[in-house]
Structure 1
Amino acid sequence: MKEATASFRVAAAQTPEFREDVAGALAYLAQVMMQAQREGATLLCLPEGYLQGYLTEDEPARRHALDLGSARFGEILAALPDQAPTTVVGLIEVEDGVLYNTAVVIRGRSVEGRYRKRHLLPGERCFQAGEETPTFEAGGLRFGINICFDTNFPEAAVEVARQGASLLLCPANNMLRQPAATAWKDRHNAVRGARCRETGVWMMSSDVTGARGDRIAWGPTAILNPAGEVAAQLPLDAPGLLVFDLPGRDPAG
């Protein structure tokens, strides 16, 4: 009889927007990490630009940017739970005076690695595009990262799949003006699903929710299977934690 293939429990947080409120974002992050730990998750994903907010104007972005090797970022890591899943957090990074839209991979209060957004929107001129597409491992699960707009480019997902990853994380931040939010409400998963079908990988997205002025965020925070179908999704209008058992690859398959 053929043995059952192991599964990997993964989690994605749909969060409020924390804008220029690192202390508030950090406190919420610690709570979510502890919740994911209690749920038995191996991997946790937070939205794009989560820690400082999705800041695209140079002055506020530069004021809140973090050097991953700095004492300040070390203090942030030290404030996190000592027992937690491998956690992917979106933030604004600075290195040698250059700003990046980055997703940092945290394991055990230390930085395991980072992915810098490679495909930037016209409104993201304060950032420099990343040049590398690394993959990572959490409890035997190999995964890669595409940040939000990256998923519009097939080659971004192909590069992750080429390295043997079975899961693609999509930290996103779709706090959009009402007309755009309405137009895109049901289109994000269609775009992401196309990348799944092209590569044969699963995708897990994490987004913000709520409203700010004339802007509204509806996620989605969801899991898509390799056929591009939604396997699980949180309601669009409230924070929450999506937990899902991702099937492992069949070694004989």
Structure 2
Amino acid sequence: MHGYLPDEEHVRRHSLDLDSPAFTAVLRRLRPIGQTLVFGVIEAHAGRYFNAAVVVARGALLGVYRKTHLMPGESVFDAGDAYPAFAMQGVTFGINICSDTQFAEAASAVAAQGARLLLVPAQNVMRWDAARRWKDEHHRIRAVRARETGMWLVSADVTGERDEHRIGYGPTSVINPRGEVVAQVPLQTTGIVIADVC
């Protein structure tokens, strides 16, 4: 919701307490939307900051997941310590954020609760050389998590150039429990994918 910039000034300025009037106003604006929404926020809670994703349905906050495996450049955040699962319309799902997928225990903690679906919001904007090396690795790592857990995995990733030094290739995609990509937005393209998850 605020963009992702793990800079202390940016985090302090744009963070939201999920119990605040400001976030209540956001929820009020989301009431007319019928779909369940999962989106990233910079969460402020008890004097700490979290790289978080919220689950919202019809303007109601159903819960929050706080990223558990922080990268070296994310020292402004505190790590989360829980893997909540959510049940919506007969589907149980959980969330891993970005580099959480590099750690098997993050996905397995969601699967252990009976989840059939893992949602992965990500922001893989990197320096050009690193981005080129990693652009295919994201699918490989996510496919391993899908096969290990037997869950579907749906990722939403950013794409495009941030500046002359950084680029994001994506991918936004759907991976089945066998680790096969069944739908994908082409790299460096904005868009959505739709797939039946069974």
Q: Does 1:153 align with 2:95?
A: no
Q: Does 1:232 align with 2:183?
A: yes
Q: Does 1:131 align with 2:76?
A: no
Query: Which residue does 2:54 correspond to in 1?
Result: 104
Q: For residues 122 and 136 of structure 2, what CA distance do their matches in structure 1 show?
A: 15
Unaligned runs of 5+ in 1: 1-50, 248-253
TM-score (norm 2): 0.97
Query: Which residue does 1:27 correspond to in 2?
Result: none
The one of 160, 165, 169 equivalent to 1:218 is: 169
Q: Does 1:59 align with 2:9?
A: yes
**Cα distance, 1:239 vs. partner?**
1.4
Q: Secondary structure at the match of 1:241?
A: coil
**Cα distance, 1:155 vs. partner?**
0.7
Q: For residues 55 and 87 of structure 1, what CA distance do their matches in structure 2 show?
A: 22
**Cα distance, 1:66 vs. partner?**
0.4
Give CA-to-partner distance per residue, 1:167-222, whole Å, 9 cap, x none: 00110001111111100111101001111111111100001111121111111001
Q: Which runs of 4+ in 1 moved over 2 A?
A: none
Opposite residue 188 of structure 1, the aligned amino acid is H
Q: For residues 154 and 167 of structure 1, what CA distance do their matches in structure 2 show?
A: 15
Unaligned runs of 5+ in 2: none
Q: Does 1:244 align with 2:173?
A: no
Percent identical residues: 50
Query: Which residue does 1:205 correspond to in 2?
Result: 155
Opposite residue 147 of structure 2, the aligned amino acid is R
Q: Does 1:170 align with 2:120?
A: yes
Q: Secondary structure at the match of 1:104?
A: strand
Query: Which residue does 2:28 correspond to in 1?
Result: 78
Q: Secondary structure at the match of 1:245?
A: coil
Mark the structure with the bigger radius of gyration: 1
Q: Secondary structure at the match of 1:159?
A: helix
Q: Secondary structure at the match of 1:56?
A: coil
The one of 30, 41, 53 equivalent to 1:91 is: 41
Q: For residues 12 and 148 of structure 2, what CA distance do their matches in structure 1 show?
A: 37
Q: Secondary structure at the match of 1:242?
A: coil
TM-score (norm 1): 0.76
With CA pairs under 8 Å and 6+ residues apart, which has the higher RCO, 1 or 2?
1
- Give the conservation status (yes or no) of the 8 Å contact 2:84–2:94: yes
Opposite residue 45 of structure 2, the aligned amino acid is E
Query: Which residue does 2:132 correspond to in 1?
Result: 182
Q: How many residues are aligned here? A: 197
**Cα distance, 1:81 vs. partner?**
5.1
**Cα distance, 1:84 vs. partner?**
2.2
